[in-house]
Structure 1
């Protein structure tokens, strides 16, 4: 049985603690020992912050019949795709697919030729997407 300061085995089968040390045993009979005060006590919580290049707001009115406004803001000039999907994931409308300058937009959407129910609006800008739920009352 070896007693070393570094783990060379990838199959650790046992961990035990004392007040001063942590011990790890492997299936090959090796034991790793390290002072408890030399080991990390936790994992830092890192937040991934994606650059906010656009904001999609809830449509108004919602529920709607037969028209609503879909509002969004672009922080920079971008290619924009605004798509409406039914609950089965089928795209039923694409009110906007164009390069747009930075600014605020209100895009009217009519559900006059659709059945009442739930629909989803997806805004895609520069490879990032946000979605909102639309409710059409008939």
Structure 2
């Protein structure tokens, strides 16, 4: 086998292995903003938890109250796709983004470490762009190498 085919085959195998590896999400609980712990703590999700859930709250802790100093509170964790969507729907009526009121939102994403950024109100994505592109490149390489 010539060196080019060996390298291409190795890339193909690594791409397939990477897509089968464990799923990871950023995790944190009630942090004041999407900083430090929420951006540096990564957890390998258990079997069956195939989504990353982010909950964002704007208000005062521990009890939301009118007139108290308000700030963001961010929680991130692994969840099943079903639990994630149920949580997102539960918070939907309270996801107002009105600065002088307390509000709560949830967002779901699927893809390795997809919950790095908090993008409240963004549509959910069923597959990350990198996974899609990796699959397409792998198919192209396989067709080129093996004349499929």
| TM-score of the pair, normalised by structure 1 | 0.22
Structure showing greater relative contact order (alpha-carbon pairs closer than 8 Å, 6 or more residues apart): 2
Q: TM-score normalized by structure 2?
A: 0.21
Q: Indicate the structure with greater strand content.
A: 1
* Bigger Rg, which one: 1
Q: In proportion to residue count, which structure has more helix?
A: 2
